[in-house]
Structure formats: C-alpha cells, structure tokens
Amino acid sequence: MDLGLKGKSVLITGASKGIGLACANSFAAEGCTINIAARSADLLEKNKADIAKKYGVTVHTHIADLRVPGTVKKLAAACANVDILVNNAGDIPGGSLEKIDEEKWRHAWELKVFGYVNMTREILARMQARGKGVIFNVIGMAGVTFPAEYVCGAAGNAALDAFTKAVGKGSIAHGVRVLGLHPGATMTDRIIQLNKTIAKEKFGDESRWEELLKSSRVQDPAQVGDQVAFLCSDRASHLSGVMLNLAAT
C-alpha cells in the first residue's frame, strides 16, 4: 500500500532501537527523509547506515538527551521544517508508589512527559505557521490499564493521553494533526527490562518476567511502526485529538 508519504521529512525521537527504530524503518520504506534522535551516537550511526543502505533514503542523526536544558530547542531548530514529528523517547521505571521516590519520578517524567510536551510545543508552532503537519505520540497502554506496579508510567502515560487529545482538538483548525497510539506488549529490550522489574516486585524473581505477558499476544515493533506510518499519512487525515489502543488480546 502506497501511503503517499514519499518525499516527506520525519523526525523520530528515541530512535536508537525498539519502536522508534521500527518507525524509522517504516517511514523510510515509504520514501521519507529520516531524522533520528537519541542519546547513543553509536546506535544512531549504525541505524543511519542500515536504513540508508536498505531503503536508499537520506538519513540525518541527532544526538540528543531531551532532559538536558536547551536540547529540545536545538533539536527543533535543526528539524524546523519536518512534516511529521514522532515523539517516542521515554524510559519510565517500573515499580509501585513506594518503590519510586520523587527523584526517580521527576527524572523519568523529564524525558517522556516533558520531552513530549516541549517537543510538541516547539514543532507545533512551526507547523501551524505553515498550515500543515502531523505530530504523533507513541505512549503506552499503562495510561489506559493503570497497573499499580507501574504507577509512574501509568500516571505519565495518562497525562500524555489527555495532552494529545487536548492539543489535537485545537491544532486541527490550523491544519496540523496531533494524535497517537498506546502500543500494547511489544517485544523490545525496554519491555523485557520493565517486566523483569515488575516480576521481581510481584514474584520476588525477575526471571519470571515472561509470565506477565502470557495473558496477551506480544507484537513486533515493526507492526507498531507500520501503524504509526499509516496514521501519519493522508489515509488517516480525518483523525486528530484521538488516541488509538494497539493491544492484542
């Protein structure tokens, strides 16, 4: 299926691995110019070479830790003319309320919650000035299911759910769509580590992490990436201010 994205410029944060990297591949397969941002220079360069070789598209890398003051503005300025922004950078730890102290909570939200909010603020203004663009937030099902053993992530994801809906309802009047999805269990390094943390707290044994995934089918990151590309295309041009749940049952 041709999504009509050829020639579009895309910025994806948290694109060193997992869902972010999968999104980069999905957009590259559609002929987009790719901007990938993450903290790891080595992984970015490897991904750049792999994507460029496989799809024959232009790939730009941006070493960026969105927690560091000034980084968001610098990245937004470097990618001022992108047609699509995919917010994906995040690293919220697992654990119940008593396990996550204020320092850990704030550190986690600085990257995912405030990272999404601040990137959206910077890029949205530029897109609205042009009267077009798409901002897509990859969030997570914890913002819908509210697991007690992932309280920091549940609260952060729920906040970003509301943020996406609120901004998207206003942005469409200026020609910009803001929307997102909550991916369910996806086989990434991140989900493995998160479930190990939860299993240690729940069972006292992190090696039992796979038991936490037995109640649902686990999807591949590429499946999420393809959904993101579709939803950012004109085939989903009627959608803004909405969050879609992408969870296998």
Rg (CA), the chain: 17
Q: Nearest-CA neighbor of 37 among 1, 68, 6, 5?
A: 68
How buried is 53 (Cβ within 10 angstroms: 0-12 exposed, 13-18 middle, 19+ buried)?
Answer: exposed
Closest listed residue to residue 115, CA positions, set 155, 152, 160, 84: 160
* pLDDT surpasses 60 at 212: yes
Average pLDDT over residues 53-61: 99
**Residues 187-211: tens digit of each pLDDT:** 666 666 766 777 777 778 767 766 6
What's residue 164's pLDDT? 99
Q: How far apart are the first and last CA of the chain?
A: 26
Report the pLDDT value the prediction gives residue 204, as an integer from 0 to 100: 80
Structure tokens at 61: 């890398």
Least confident of 137-146, 196-205, 221-230: 196-205
Better-predicted residue by pLDDT, 164 or 214: 164
CA-wise closest residue to 62 among 81, 77, 84: 77
Percent share of the chain, pLDDT over 90:
81
- Higher-pLDDT residue of 204 and 181 is 181
pTM of the predicted model as reported, rounded to 2 decimal places: 0.90
Residue-range domains of the chain with CATH:
9-246 (3.40.50.720)
| Mean pLDDT, residues 49-58 | 98
Mean pLDDT across the chain: 92
Residue 249 has pLDDT above 60, yes or no: no
Query: What pLDDT sits at residue 191?
Result: 66
Mean pLDDT of 213-229: 82
Model pLDDT, residue 31:
98
Q: Is residue 24 classed exposed, middle or buried when 0-12, 13-18 and 19+ CB atoms within 10 A define those classes?
A: buried
**What is the mean pLDDT of the segment spanning 39-62?**
98
Q: Give the tens place of pLDDT for each residue, 34-43.
A: 999 999 999 9
On the question of pLDDT at 46 being above 80, the answer is yes
